[in-house]
Amino acid sequence: MIDGFWTGSGADWKGSNGHNPLAGRVTFGDGNGASVEPGSGNAFPIIGGTTDIAALLKNGPVMLGGAPGQTPAHWLLATGLTDDGKGVIAVDPVSGRLVVMTYDQDTKSLGGVAGFYDAKTRGLTQLADAGGSMPAGSGGVEALKTFTPASFLAVSIR
């Protein structure tokens, strides 16, 4: 299905043939009613102490964008909180693995990637222990170590 959003030269939410099969079923916004079509540079900024990722996650997944100019450009799909609420679990589409980002519910502060989430132990595997499992050309573990969340899009699925 992802091929339907690739025009041959870039991604297009309208669909490669101008028809998006998800139109009307998936929307992107700020969690407070403002909606946008996903594209370059139109995500909402993460404002420390104000943007409540935990509250957004109660309504569905949240796309987290890295800092502007970050190379390679990187997005993570946040899907929930760790059992203790001190981490945000997200899918890294580059490695295909779940990562955990630090999170402080009191200050609503979202930090960087602390490690990979291990579903069996419900714990954390350090990034340094996963270096050989990253795809070539992905920026590897270093891309995750330097990921700085700067923007978001709350995802609503109908």
- What sign does the dihedral 101-142-75-95 (CA atoms) show? negative
State the pTM of this model.
0.81
Distance of CA 1 to the CA centre of its chain: 19
Residue 18 located in a structural domain: no
According to the model, what pLDDT value does residue 11 have? 66
Residue 125 located in a structural domain: yes
pLDDT at 16 over 80: no
Residue 127 located in a structural domain: yes
Q: Which domain holds residue 35?
A: 2-12+25-157
Distances, alpha carbon 4 to alpha carbons 21, 22, 49, 90, 142, in Å: 9, 10, 38, 24, 31
* Number of domains comprising the chain: 1
Angle, vertex CA 33, rays to CA 10 and CA 61, nearest 5:
60
Least confident range of 27-36, 46-55, 67-76, 79-88 = 67-76
Give 6's DSSP letter: B
Angle, vertex CA 52, rays to CA 48 and CA 58, nearest 5:
160
Cα end-to-end distance, the chain, whole Å: 18
Residue 19 located in a structural domain: no
Range from 27-31, 55-59, 114-118, 122-126 that averages highest in pLDDT = 55-59
Residue 116 located in a structural domain: yes
According to the model, what pLDDT value does residue 140 have? 62
Tokens describing residue 75: 């997005």
H or E segment to which residue 149 belongs: strand 149-157
pLDDT at 47 over 90: yes
Residue 46 located in a structural domain: yes
Where b means 16+ CB within 10 Å and e means fewer, 56-89 reads bbeeebbbbbbeeeeeeebbbbbebbbeeeebbb
